[in-house]
A and B are shown apart, each in its own frame.
Chain A
Amino acid sequence: MSESFLVIDDSKLLHQMYRLIFSQGDLAGSTIHYATNGREGYGLLAAHPDLTLVFLDLNMPEMNGLEVLARARAERLHSHVPIVLVTTESSEDDEARGLAVGAWDYLRKPFQPADIQRLVRRARELRRGRGAA
């Protein structure tokens, strides 16, 4: 079964960038769901319990990243699905807050394809570990 990912970002350009990254190497062939705001992203997250990894932009209209994260964790929505908070030259404070609310990790823009690949590898290990347990 192919892996699936969720990208929540209000920038279509960023969607294109993720599309490019997910078309390369062993990520090719995976399914990616895209949302352009927090509300839509929350809906997609709720609809897909088996995501390998979620990339969640911090700065977005209609629920920002922190709000999506806080709500998902408060409602115990697929708490096994790792969520990466994506920030833009943001302060460490935001990242700390994100981790406190339940982000699995954070990623700063500008990021490189290798950053995504590394996060995916770690998420797979996490998944395997859970599967074995």
Chain B
Amino acid sequence: MKAGENPFGDLLQDYIVESLPLAEQVGDAFVELERRWRAGDPGDQVLASVTGSLHTIKGNSAMMGLTPMRDVAHALEDLCGYLARAGASRGDEAAALLVTGGGLLVDLIGSASADTEPGAADQFMARVLGFLGVAPEASAAGPDRRQAERRTQPRAGDTEAASVVRVDFRRLDAMLEVLGEGIIQHSALAELYRRLLRRVGACEELGELDQTVLSLQKTLSRLESTLMETRLLPVSTVFGRFPRMVRDVAHAEGKRVRLEVTGGDTSLDKAVLDRLGEPLLHLLSNAVAHGLELPGDRVRAGKPAEGLLRLQAAAVSGRVAIRVSDDGRGLDQTAIRAKAEALGVDTRAADTAQLHQLVFVAGLSTADRVTTLAGRGMGLDVAANVIHALGGTIEVESRPGQGSAFTLSLPVTLAIVRSLIVEVDRERYAVPLSHVAETVRAEPETIRQINNQGVTQWRGDLIHVADAGAVLGTGKPCEAPRPFYVVMTAGARRRGLLVDRLIGHQDIVVKGLDPALGRPAVVSGTTILGDGRVACILDVVRILEGAAHGN
């Protein structure tokens, strides 16, 4: 449902920004309420805490002409109004309705900028009406809505400073792109200065030019760090969807789980956050499905029937630590050993810590049982790869019978470099644009072989052209002549690199290299491309230096 014809249609983004966190609070509260009811606690305060938010969502949605959202909020308000009364049937059915409705509300608001199917909202309203119709206390007059109207709650955010503006994140991405162009233009200017210096020699004007180019660089890097700070978002923006998902896995697995989240206000770059959701979700569902025991088993082991799952974030010495821990059975060392042996890994000499690290190895991370989320999830090895590609580390501690803890350490901000993405032997590589002079279609007759090296005419100069497969050591023989070359420059050095495909320009987030892999001489880091593939970033300076020494 679009808000296009509505007089306030232009405020759709503002609507989402304000209503989505409220809906997430409501959804979390319903998950918590269900947990409390099962533990025999009436949860009155939890119920009371959502009425203000639901009412605001209802009003906001109505103003925006977003009928499905208004209807769901309204139905939930009615349901809460009924459940707040003495003698209401607060059972599994009511809890399931609340949790479903909370989730639906989050989904509807989150996708409000797209067309929304009204079907789900209608179905939900019908279910609520059905429930209220058969519930013993629901009077013919329906639930008392005025109760909800008057019960109000102070909420966070009301004291928000007036100097804060909300910005659509796409604008920050656009600013980053412009900054990238500025950085490239600065490199061109610096190069021009060096060429002038060679041609006319040192003079006063050139000295001033040098100073100006230098201060331009300082300004640009200040701008870059300011922009990087602006891109920081609280981790709660990702954590928000976890309670409901943990609850879903717990239901499917027959587990009882309390999720405790702390440090939601810790900040990370949005690019990191966007990629962190999947691995964290995997760690959490893994903990519920395999870490925590069934309630009966827990009681027999002298633990509370309800398992404790903790998700903690904190800023630690310039980085962000995120920890997922449970009080379950701990890693099964015997099973890890058996699987490793089956894959031909010799574990006889491995100590406990080394055994635990094996859970991150492909083929060992897959759990025996298929869980509901495993189908769309990733293995622990893939989760670890994502963390590594973000420049982060992941460690595991575990004690038999006491539980496991996965600790992630992540950089707060990221270096972002606009790059040319190329393909060589079906792998993708990133070449920082500041080192790309031109991309040229390689006509075979224009490249001559001199002393076993390709040479071509480029802008009036003779430059070497090397095969990327040979430079990168892909180890594959070149099947057909590669159709393009990229003219790379570093200082006065330049060289062509023959590649299979030019994919395009992209802002890439620079990640460190996995120390375990060592540092290949021609690669300065890695990145994850938009499609999730890992690409190596070429270290152009080293490639050109190597070529110079090779000559």
- What residues make up the interface of A, taking CB atoms closer than 8 Å to B? 10-14, 16-17, 20, 36-37, 58-62, 64, 66, 87-91, 93-94, 109-113
Contact = CB atoms under 8 A, between A and B. Distances in A.
Contacts of A11: 18, 56, 59-60
Given A60-B152, A94-B146, A110-B65, A12 B14 contact: yes
Nearest to A37: B158
18 contacts: A10-B52, A10-B158, A12-B14, A12-B18, A12-B160, A13-B11, A16-B8, A20-B10, A61-B52, A61-B155, A61-B158, A62-B158, A64-B150, A88-B58, A88-B149, A89-B62, A89-B145, A110-B59
A110 B145 contact: no
B155 A10 contact: yes
B154 A61 contact: yes
A111 B19 CA distance: 18
A110 B10 CA distance: 16
Contact of B145 (A10, A61, A90): A90
A11 B54 CA distance: 12
Contacts of A60: 152
B11 A17 contact: yes
A64 B153 CA distance: 10
B158 A59 contact: no
Q: Is the interface of B mostly helix, strand, loop or mixed?
A: helix
A14 B11 CA distance: 10
B63 interface: yes
Contacts of B8: 16-17, 20
A13 B146 contact: no
B152 A59 contact: yes
Contacts of A59: 52, 55-56, 59, 149, 152
B450 to A, nearest CB: 68
Contacts, number: 84
B15 A13 contact: yes
Contact of A91 (B14, B15, B62, B145): B145
3 closest Cβ contacts across the A-B interface?
A88-B59, A110-B62, A61-B154
A133 to B, nearest CB: 36
Contact of A14 (B10, B60, B146): B60
A65 to B, nearest CB: 10
A17 B63 CA distance: 9
A58 B149 contact: yes
B55, B62, B146 — which one has the most chain A CB atoms within 10 A of its CB? B55
B7, B10, B11 — which one has the most chain A CB atoms within 10 A of its CB? B7
A88 B152 contact: no
A94 B154 contact: no
A93 B74 CA distance: 18
Contacts of B63: 13-14, 17, 109-111
A11 B11 CA distance: 13
Chain B interface size, as a band, is 20 to 34
A111 B8 CA distance: 11
Contacts of B145: 89-91
Contacts of B60: 11, 13-14
A87 B55 CA distance: 10
Nearest to B11: A16
A89 B154 contact: no
Contacts of B14: 12-13, 16
Contacts of A17: 8, 11, 63
A109 B62 contact: yes
A109 B160 CA distance: 24
A37 B155 CA distance: 10
Contacts of B158: 10, 36-37, 61-62
B529 to A, nearest CB: 36
Given A61-B152, A61-B153, A89 B58 contact: yes
Contacts of A64: 150, 152
Contacts of B160: 12, 36
B70 to A, nearest CB: 8
A106 to B, nearest CB: 13
B372 to A, nearest CB: 36
A89 B15 contact: no
Given A37-B154, A89-B74, 15 more contacts: A10-B56, A11-B56, A20-B8, A36-B158, A59-B52, A59-B59, A60-B152, A61-B52, A62-B152, A90-B149, A94-B146, A109-B62, A110-B59, A110-B65, A112-B7
A89 B75 CA distance: 13
A16 B10 CA distance: 10
Contacts of B62: 88-89, 109-110
Interface string B63-81: 1010000000010000000
Nearest to A24: B7
B167 to A, nearest CB: 14
A11 B61 CA distance: 12
Nearest to A58: B149
Interface string B140-163: 000001100110111100101000
B146 A93 contact: yes
Contacts of A12: 14, 18, 160
